[in-house]
A and B are shown apart, each in its own frame.
Chain A
Amino acid sequence: MKTESNIDIRAKEIEKLKKYKYGFTTDIESIRAPKGLNEEVIRFISKIKKEPKWMLDFRLKAFERFKQLKEPNWQKPKYPKIDYQDLYYYSAPKSMDDKPKSLDELDPKLLETYKKLGIPLQEQARLNGIAVDAVFDSVSVATTFKGELTKQGIIFCSMSEAIQKHPELVQKYLGSVIPITDHFFATLNSAVFTDGSFVYIPKNTRCPMELSTYFRINASETGQFERTLIIADKGSYVSYLEGCTAPMRDENQLHAANVELIALDDAEIKYSTVQNWYPGDKDGKGGIYNFVTKRGLCKGKNSKISWTQVETGSAITWKYPSCILKGDNSIGEFYSIAITNNHQKADTGTKMIHLGKNTKSKIISKGISAGFSDMMYRGLVDISPKADNARNFTQCDSLLMGNKCGAHTIPYIKNKNLQSNIEHEATTSKISDEQLYYCNQRGLNQEEAVSLIVNGFCKEVLQQLPMEFAVEAQKLVAISLEGSVG
């Protein structure tokens, strides 16, 4: 007399809930570059964006380099060969052709899309007190709160606009952390990047609100190659958050972004990501390939960069947000929750490169795998001969749900300085049936129990998120794991 029937009913309900709620497409007319990757396409992108010659040269130089590079294959999650000639490298809503001057002129369909995603670009955004830059496929469609930020000398705009209006800053810093020769995907991005966000915080300024970019892939067969550049001048502070979603499609879509952060003397950048790209269906069909290069340079003394990421989406996540701790006494932090369910795969972690004296880094990584998924933490702590008194603390915890998933931890440690101090802790645990039974006996149903246990496991990282997003992230964590036990 087993009570299977109740479980079946519940499983069905969960299935309904688990449906990716951002999976809709917006039917909007778009302009695309011709399919394929060649010099013509790169010139097309540069031309349509009315870029100066130096920008085109930057792209072409990257493309020359790209032609000599081989796609890497050392990562754990393998994927079928991508035909780079079978992709569109530029897609923009047609209505953006003559760029609207204000939100009121924006195509109502776009406003509706962002509203559905819970990112109201109009009035509501003002109430939330968060400045948003919305990137739709290849272009930035709206940036809110511009006026208020401008008063303090803060620049928050799309990358395209920054190239036009602030060429001296862009020219100085673009590619200074991720050089165009860096690696296959980063170089590809340098050649074909379309848009993204640009932030500059002037000296001794504390950015008064959260800055946020919302990335949305809409068009099919399109890669998204956005580029973000954040510069925090001496003594400044900024907290920045990015969110991502995409429609449900049977094909795999490539997302290869580059994010560069630069913190000068005594500056601090807090960069948070809530990544919820379409993960593919439960059999592993479709989903986003999230191959992103994120790197921060603590250029000045006493500077600080912290990465916080909640990664729940994408078919494959392959990225290592890193910190180069060049300035003396600079600090790098990496807080990560990565969740894989069904057939999702992740190979993610961080790199902390200690160059300056008294530099400190902290890595807290929480990996959760469920279903048939596979999760890899890969991290590098590199302490150079000059980095006297450098310190690193690393903690990697993995949580397994069920017995068909995998969790792996590969920490690389290179230490060339005897005065440094490196600590590494790692645990692997499993949500046991006994733990669930215990929670059930205390009145919690299966989902409440899983959510409680998982949130306890991730707490240290969730606490790092800006408050407005912490609750959202907590819910997202619970939703991504619904139906994974029981």
Chain B
Amino acid sequence: MLKIEDLKASIDNKDILKGLNLEIKAGEVHAIMGPNGSGKSTLSNVLSGKKGYEISGKVTFEEKNLLNLEVEERAHKGIFLAFQYPLEIPGVNTNIFLKTSLNAIKKSRGEKELDAIEFLKLVKQKALDLKFDEKILSRQLNVGFSGGEKKKNEILQMSILNPKLSILDETDSGLDIDALKIVSEGVNALRNKKSSFLIITHYQRILDYIKPDFVHVLINGKIVKSGGSELAQELEKKGYEKFN
């Protein structure tokens, strides 16, 4: 589904990704673990198309070049990024934002857009499935949300947009154990043969709840080791030090 070959990225002449290779197949869950400054967030930004990076290398999504697409075009193709710090947009109702987003994606695919009633039905069901408080939906987008509510809102959006590839950028940071469980259950409920996940994290904690198929260690802009879920436990015990 996603294939990254020799990906290099720099910003303001500072090299951050230094030749990264990764392949994610449909239905797989990959975790990328790494210390601060290893390039984890840059990877999620580059994959989602954020401006400002000098990029070389090759990234294909469903066999097509991803790097020449705009941010929204990548979203239309089914790439979703759960933000580490979801943005607040005052005055914009969460429901309206979600509906506008879903319909923009549907429109780009030539599918029928949902009307207000169809959408409300869908969103209420999803909120119920994820045990989210419906009240969140009628509030302004992320405004005054607690850290946990913001992250839950990202997972709710993910479940409504039903992406092919979901990138979770440190979704676990700042979550208490209950919120972490709910978020993880949300992700697990979305796991199926067609959708893939890339979970970016500092800690092994979230991987107790979402069992990855593969774990990669990212240090200094490169993947230095890959393995199964046992690699996460090893990291937790020994730290990143020995990979340096």
Contact = CB atoms under 8 A, between A and B. Distances in A.
B67 interface: yes
Nearest to B87: A438
A457 B71 CA distance: 24
A1 B97 contact: no
Interface in A402-450: 429, 432-435, 437-445, 448
A453 interface: yes
A438 B86 contact: yes
Given A1-B54, A452-B92, A453-B92, A441 B100 contact: no
A434 B89 CA distance: 11
What interface size band does chain A fall in?
20 to 34
B124 interface: no
B101 A3 contact: no
A29 to B, nearest CB: 49
Interface string B69-100: 11110111000110100110111110011001
A443 B67 contact: no
A442 B54 contact: no
Nearest to A486: B51
What interface size band does chain B fall in?
35 or more
Nearest to B108: A443
A440 B90 contact: no
B229 to A, nearest CB: 28
Interface in A1-47: 1-3, 6
A429 B87 CA distance: 14
Contact of A456 (B51, B72, B83, B90): B90
A456 B75 contact: no
A444 B70 contact: no
Report which residue of B69, B71, B157 has the largest number of chain A beta carbons within 10 angstroms of its beta carbon: B71
Contacts of A440: 49, 70-72, 75
A429 B143 CA distance: 14
Contacts of A437: 50-51, 71
B2 interface: no
Contact of B72 (A445, A455, A458): A445
Contacts of A116: none
Given A453-B89, A456-B91, A444 B68 contact: no
A443 B89 contact: no
Contacts of B101: 439, 442-444
B181 to A, nearest CB: 26
A94 interface: no
Given A1-B54, A1-B56, A452-B100, A441 B71 contact: yes
Interface in A451-468: 452-453, 455-459
B58 to A, nearest CB: 11
Nearest to A457: B91
B97 A452 contact: yes
Contact of B89 (A6, A445, A456): A456
A392 B50 CA distance: 45
Nearest to A440: B71
B179 interface: no
A442 B157 contact: yes
A429 B91 CA distance: 12
B217 interface: no
B182 interface: no
A139 B68 CA distance: 56
A237 B157 CA distance: 45
Interface string A136-175: 0000000000000000000000000000000000000000
Interface string A273-308: 000000000000000000000000000000000000
Interface string B107-132: 01000000000000000000000000
8 contacts: A3-B70, A435-B89, A438-B87, A442-B157, A443-B104, A443-B108, A455-B92, A456-B93
Given A439-B101, A441-B83, A456-B92, 20 more contacts: A1-B54, A1-B68, A6-B70, A434-B87, A435-B87, A437-B71, A438-B89, A440-B70, A441-B75, A442-B157, A442-B161, A443-B72, A443-B75, A443-B105, A443-B108, A452-B89, A452-B100, A453-B89, A453-B92, A456-B140
Interface of B: 48-51, 54-56, 67-72, 74-76, 80-81, 83, 86-87, 89-93, 96-97, 100-102, 104-105, 108, 140, 157, 161
Interface of A: 1-3, 6, 429, 432-435, 437-445, 448, 452-453, 455-459
